[in-house]
């Protein structure tokens, strides 16, 4: 007793009946024929030149349509036909052995290459979307799509296609890339360290933020440290850094100096920090919240600063807490009291953007060099690259005589 196998081809419909339907005056009838799975190849050839785009689209979508029809349909005047063909060929490509079925494979690739050069963005986007996760997609075709000037086309390939090589990615990054290209590359499931470093080197903020939020991106410890410093000014990095896996505890504590409470909450909720780090983050966060909660609406910054000084609460932390909330007026009043300098002179130093002048002012107010660095960036707007850094990590880098001379220059007497 014989059994019908699943590989047995379907019985083809009657030739004369198919011939009659193929010449039918109603395009709906011809479309239904073009979509059948028992229609002979020669009728699909014939219908591929049908005057109705609906019929030709059915031909393009039919799995029985010979690959040899592809080059013709790839130049079809109707957009929907070309898109349908792109989708069908992309599904067919993985089943074509380039060795055993070389001619069919080459014809399929030829048609896809034509579609990948189509003037209509939607057609190229359809090719890109269909091929992005196809393991046997020709590398040359993938490179063409990855370099397409339209985001709708290239973005998907750059994000998910494993066939885009590291060399290709580095070349794209090095040739005046658009931000969307960098963001797409930064979103890949795996971003090699050289590619990640190249993205960071571009200075593109959205792409670098995406990279930091991608735990599949390999970023060197040095770069993470540099980005923490940049995040003092570039707030877009802060939340991504706070979520970054394996963020060094010392960098998290450094961020506590300048991030807001929402970022601190992210740091507090991490499970990979030691108890001491978490305790410091929690204490800083609690202090910041208390600082804003204790603010009396009717009380002026000057009055509040004087009251805190009288109560022994006008500490360095109080100044930094106010700085974290961007309460510049309170910072001016607090420094005026601690340094015994008129607020207008402090404002003059800040407005001048003098990094060394701010350092000298912080020293006179009895603040640490850590606080002086925060004041330079957040109060005086000194760019991170021009910040005067601490000596040996904690010490003031200038002598007392130098700092006194700087203060005298700004009109601050001894």
Query: DSSP letters along 371-413, please?
Result: HHHHIIIIIT---GGG--PPBTTTB-SS-HHHHHHHHHHTT--
Which residue has better confidence, 246 or 305?
305
Least confident interval from 48-52, 185-189, 361-365:
48-52
Q: How high is the mean pLDDT of the chain?
A: 89
The DSSP bridge partners found for residue 191 are 217
- When pLDDT is averaged across residues 275-281 and rounded to a whole number, the result is 89
In tens, the pLDDT along 312-340 reads: 999 999 999 898 888 899 999 999 999 99
How many residues are present in the chain? 414
In tens, the pLDDT along 362-401 reads: 999 999 998 999 899 889 988 877 889 998 888 999 999 9
Are the C-beta atoms of residues 323 and 379 closer than 8 Å to each other?
Answer: yes
- Residue corresponding to tokens 């601050």: 412
Residue 3: its pLDDT value, please?
A: 42
d(CA 128, CA 145): 6
Structure tokens that stand for 114 in this block: 């034509």
Domain boundaries, the chain: 238-294, 297-409
d(CA 174, CA 156): 20
In tens, the pLDDT along 116-126 reads: 888 999 999 98
In tens, the pLDDT along 52-93 reads: 999 999 999 888 888 888 888 889 999 899 998 888 887 777
Instruction: State pTM to two decimals.
Output: 0.69
Are the C-beta atoms of residues 140 and 163 closer than 8 Å to each other?
Answer: no
d(CA 142, CA 157): 7
Least confident interval from 23-32, 271-280, 301-310:
271-280
């Amino acid at each position: 007793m014989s059994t019908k196998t699943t590989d047995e081809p379907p019985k083809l419909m009657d030739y004369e009946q198919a011939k009659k339907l193929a010449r039918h005056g109603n395009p709906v009838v011809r479309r239904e024929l073009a979509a059948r799975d028992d229609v002979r190849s020669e009728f699909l050839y014939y219908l591929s030149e049908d005057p109705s785009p609906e019929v030709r689209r059915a031909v393009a979508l039919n799995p029985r349509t010979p690959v040899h029809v592809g080059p013709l349909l790839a130049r079809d005047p109707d957009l929907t036909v070309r898109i349908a063909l792109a989708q069908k060929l992309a599904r067919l490509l993985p089943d074509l052995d380039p060795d055993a079925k070389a001619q069919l494979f080459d014809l399929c690739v030829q048609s896809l290459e034509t579609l990948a050069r189509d003037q209509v963005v939607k057609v190229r986007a359809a090719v890109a979307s269909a091929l992005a996760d196809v393991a046997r997609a020709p590398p040359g075709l993938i490179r063409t799509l990855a370099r397409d000037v339209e985001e709708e086309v290239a973005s998907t390939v750059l994000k998910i296609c494993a066939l885009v090589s590291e060399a290709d990615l580095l070349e794209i990054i090095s040739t005046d890339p658009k931000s969307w290209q960098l963001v797409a590359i930064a979103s890949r499931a795996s971003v090699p360290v050289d590619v990640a470093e190249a993205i960071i080197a571009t200075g593109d903020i959205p792409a670098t933020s995406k990279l930091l939020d991608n735990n599949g991106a390999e970023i060197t410890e040095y770069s993470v440290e540099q980005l923490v410093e940049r995040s003092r000014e570039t707030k877009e990095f802060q939340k991504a850094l706070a979520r970054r896996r394996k963020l060094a505890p010392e960098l998290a504590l450094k961020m506590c100096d300048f991030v807001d409470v929402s970022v601190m909450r992210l740091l507090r909720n991490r499970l990979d920090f030691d108890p001491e780090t978490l305790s410091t983050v929690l204490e800083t966060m609690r202090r910041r919240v208390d600082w804003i909660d204790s603010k009396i609406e009717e009380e002026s910054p000057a009055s509040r600063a004087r009251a805190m000084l009288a109560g022994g609460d006008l500490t360095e932390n109080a100044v930094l807490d106010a700085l974290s909330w961007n309460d510049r007026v309170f910072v001016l009043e607090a420094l005026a009291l601690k340094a015994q300098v008129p607020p207008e002179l402090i404002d003059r130093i800040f407005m001048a953007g003098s990094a060394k002048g701010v350092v000298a002012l912080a020293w006179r107010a009895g603040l640490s060099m850590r606080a002086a660095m925060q004041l330079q960036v957040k109060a005086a707007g000194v760019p991170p690259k021009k910040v005067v850094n601490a000596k040996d990590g904690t010490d003031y880098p200038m002598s007392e005589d130098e700092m006194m001379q700087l203060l005298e220059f700004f009109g601050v007497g001894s």
